[in-house]
Amino acid sequence: MIILGRDICGNLEISSRKEWLETNGIGGYAYGTVSGLHTRSYHSLLTAALEVPLRRVIMLSQLEETINYGNKRYVLSTNQYKQTVPAEGYLNMEEFRLDPFPVITYRLADLLLEKQIFMSYGFNLTWITYRLLTPLPENSEMRLTVRPLVNFRDHHLKKSEQHFFFSTHHDLEKKVVRLMPDKNLPALNMYHNASGFEHSAQWYHDIFYQEEKQRGLECTEDVFSPGIINYSFNKENDLGFMAVTTNVLDNPDPEVAANAERIRRRELIKAIEPGDRFGKMLALTADQFIVKRDEGLSVMAGYPWLPDSGREAMIAMPGLTMILNRKEETRTLLQTFAGYCYKGMFPNYFNETDAKPFYNSVDAALWFFVAVYQYRRFFGDDDFIRQELWKIMLEIIERYTKGTLYNIKMDKDGLINIPEEGGQLTWMDAQVGDWIVTPRSGKPVEVNALWYNALCFMRDLAETFGEQKKQKRFSELAEKTKAAFQTAFWNEIKNYCYDRIEEHYQDPSLRPNQLIALALPYPVVPADQAKKILKIIRQELYTTFGLGTLNHDHEDYQGNYAGDIISREGAAHQGTVWPWLLGPYADSLRQVYGNTPETRAEIRRLLKPFEAHIKEAGLGSISEMFDGDPPHSARGCVSRACNVAEILRLHLELLKDKS
C-alpha cells in the first residue's frame, strides 16, 4: 500500500507528477495522476486493446464530477483546458491510496466520499465506484453528477470534433449508456446504478496536456460528452458505480468484481515474505507486463506507449516469472516466442495497429538462450527444453552461423557481424529519420558475448541430450569465438572493452554493454580484466538509479532526456541512465568476486534508492530511464518491464541468500 496525504494531494505540481496505472492482462489500461489532472494524451480511464494485446484505443478519457451537498457545490475532478486554469477538485482530496488499486478519499464539509478505480482482468472493463463513508445528517441528501468525456482514438493520436460522430442510446431498464461511433470500432457501454441520465451532448474543446507540450508534441484535443449521469446518496455506505466496457454485461456488480481482483492479486504475492512491502509492490507491478497473445503470452515492454517485445521478454523473464516461481507462465512465454522465430530471429516488437512482428533485433534471439538457461536453473525440466525448444535453438545457431535477416552472420573469426546497412539492431536503437544516434554496426560487444554464451549452453545441452557430434561442433565454435573476442575487444590503453569493432575501427566509447560479457552464465572476459572493467564502470557510469549509457567526459554525452524528439532520442543512449543495467552489474559482481557478504552489501546499496522511487513517479513501478545529470529525474514511460524485473530479481535473490 502507498498512502499520500493532503500535503501531496493538495499540491498540484507534485500530485500531477505522481501517476497510477491499472492494467487488464490483455494490453488495455487505465492511467492517470494522483491529482486527477491529465498531463499526457495517454491518460484515460479506459484504453481498450481491440486486437489483444495491441490496437489500443482510448474510449473513456476522463470524467467531470461535482457534488451538491447542503447549499454548496464541490468539484471532484481536475481537468484543464488550454485557455483556463485547472478545475480545483484536487483541493478536496483528503487522501490517495494504492491499495492495491487507486482509492481517493474526498473531504466535503462533514462528509467523506471514497472513489475507487480498477480493471477486471481479461476484459476491457474499468470500474469507477463512489462510496459515502460518513452518515448524512437527517433529512439530507448528497447528489453526484458525472459527465463522461469520451474519445475513441488510437492511444498515440489525438482527434478533434470534426473527425468522428457518435450515436447515443440510454437503456433505462438495464441502466446503460451506449455510445456507438461511426468508425469500425466497438460500442462503449457505461453501466451505472444512478438515479437518472440526462441527454445533453456537447463537445469539449482544447483539453490541454502539459507533458506533451514539453515533449514537443501536439498538446490539445477535443472530446465528446453524451450527457450527465446523476447519483443520489442518502445514507452511509451508499455505493454508486460506473462499469465502462466494450463488453455486454449481465447484472454488473462492482463489489464482486473488486473482490475477485483483490483475490487474484493476493495470489500473485503469496510467495513473497509477509513483511516485504517492496517485493510485494514490484511483484504486483511485474504482473502488469504479462499479457495474452494468440494462444500464448507476451510481455509489454512498457506502459503506456510501448508494445510487446521479444527482447524485453527475454531479458525480463527471470524477474517477471521465474523468481516468483511462475513456471507455467514461463513455459508459455518461451513457447510463444519460439513460435514467432523467423529465420533464426525473434521479434523486436509488434506493430501497434496490425500486430505484425518486426524482426529488427540482432540480440532478441540470443537473449532467448539466456532465458532458457535460467528456466533450466530455476525449474530443471530438460524434457521441456528438448521437446519444445531444442529445434528452435538449433535453427537460431544455424541461421546466425550462415546468415540471416539484415545479412547478420558469423564472420570467419567466429564473431557475429552486423553490416552498416542493417540499421539499428541492438538495444541502443535510437534513430530520428536518417540520423543513427548511436551506431552499433560491426561487431557489438554484448552481441558477441551473447553469441558465445549461446554456443556454450548448446554445447552443454548437447552433452546432456547425448548429441555428441553437435557437442563437438558447438565446443569448437565456442572456443573459436572466445579466442577472437578476447583478442579483438580488449582495449589495453583504457583497461576496458571496445564497445564495437569494425574492420578498420575500434570504438573506445565507455558504455555499459561490456558488462553483459561479464554477467552471463558463461563469461567470456578473463577475471583480471573483468575486475578492471568493474572498477571503471563503478567510477564513471554508476548513478543513483542505474548505469549511464556513456561517460560524462565523452564529447557526445547528453545529460538530460528532455525536449522534442530530436533532443530526447539524441540523449537516449548518450548518457541517459537505465535501471535494468544494474542486473548485469550485480551479476558481474557475483561472477568476479563471488556471492560474498561484501558483494551482497553492495547490491543492497544499489537497490535502496528504488524503495523511495516507487512512490515518486509511476506509483509502485520503475520509470523507463533517468537523466544522466543530477538529480537524475525520471524520464520516458512510467513503467518499464526490464527495470521492474531486474530490480525485483536482485531484491528477492538477496532475501534468499539471507535465508
Has residue 138 got a pLDDT over 90? no
Under 8 Å between Cβ of 635 and 626: yes
Q: Running DSSP on this structure, what letter comes out for residue 223?
A: E
Per-residue model confidence (pLDDT) at position 334: 98
- pLDDT, tens digit, 9 for 90 and up, residues 292-303: 999 999 999 999
Question: What total of structural domains would you count in the chain?
Answer: 1
Mean pLDDT on 2-11:
96
pLDDT at 633 over 80: yes
Find the largest Cα–Cα distance for the chain: 88
| DSSP state letters, 517-536 | HHHSSS--S-HHHHHHHHHH
- 115 falls in which pLDDT band (50, 70, 90)? very high
Q: Quick check: is 331 in a domain?
A: no
Q: Which pLDDT value is given to residue 163?
A: 59
The answer to whether residue 659 scores a pLDDT higher than 70 is no
The SS3 call for residue 558 is: coil
Mean of the per-residue pLDDT values for the chain? 94
Task: Pick 180 or 613 by higher pLDDT.
Answer: 613
- Domain presence at residue 168: no
pLDDT band at 164; cut points 50, 70, 90: low
Average pLDDT over residues 418-424: 87
Q: What's the rounded mean pLDDT across residues 274-299?
A: 96
Assess if residue 485 is contained within a domain.
Answer: no
Residue 409: pLDDT band (50, 70, 90) is very high
In a domain, 113, yes or no: yes
- What is the average pLDDT across 639-650? 98
The residue range of the domain holding 231 is: 2-163+190-261
- pLDDT higher than threshold 70 for residue 85: no
Instruction: Give the pLDDT band (50/70/90) at residue 182.
Output: confident
Q: What percent of the chain has pLDDT over 70?
A: 98
Quick one: average pLDDT of 46-62? 94
pLDDT tens for each residue of 361-395 = 999 999 999 999 999 999 999 999 999 999 999 99
Q: What is the pLDDT of residue 636?
A: 94
Burial class (CB in 10 A: 0-12, 13-18, 19+), 612: exposed
Contact 497, 490 (CB under 8 A): yes
- Is the pLDDT at 181 greater than 80? The verdict is yes
In a domain? residue 123:
yes
Check which CATH number belongs to the domain holding 219 and give it.
Answer: 2.70.98
The answer to whether the CB of 254 falls within 8 A of the CB of 125 is no
Separation in Å, CA 590 to CA 245, 506, 658: 48, 29, 15
Query: Is residue 154 situated within a structural domain?
Result: yes
Q: What is the pLDDT of residues 541-557, one digit of tens each?
A: 999 999 999 999 999 99
- Of the candidates 264, 260, 252, 271, the one whose C-alpha atom is nearest the C-alpha of residue 290 is 264
* Residue 367 within any structural domain of the chain: no
The whole-angstrom separation of Cα 383 and Cα 185 is 45
Res 331 pLDDT > 90 = yes
Share of the chain above pLDDT 90, in %: 83
Give the residue with greater pLDDT, 235 vs 589. 589
- At 161 the pLDDT is 61
Residues 422, 441 contacting (CB under 8 angstroms)? yes
Smallest CA-to-CA distance from 306 within 340, 348, 346 is with 348
Q: Which of 27-41, 81-95, 117-131 has the least mean pLDDT?
A: 81-95
**Cβ distance 108 to 30 under 8 Å?**
no
Q: 15 in a domain, yes or no?
A: yes
- CA quadruple 62, 55, 645, 317: dihedral, nearest 10: 160
Q: Which of 83-92, 201-210, 631-640 has the highest mean pLDDT?
A: 631-640
Q: Give the DSSP letter string of 1-30.
A: -EEE-HHHHT-HHHHTT-EEEEE-SSS-EE
pLDDT confidence of residue 237: 82
What confidence tier does 82 reach under pLDDT thresholds 50, 70, 90? confident
State residue 420's pLDDT score: 86
The whole-number average pLDDT for the span 238-265 is: 94
* 130 CB burial (10 A radius; 0-12, 13-18, 19+): buried
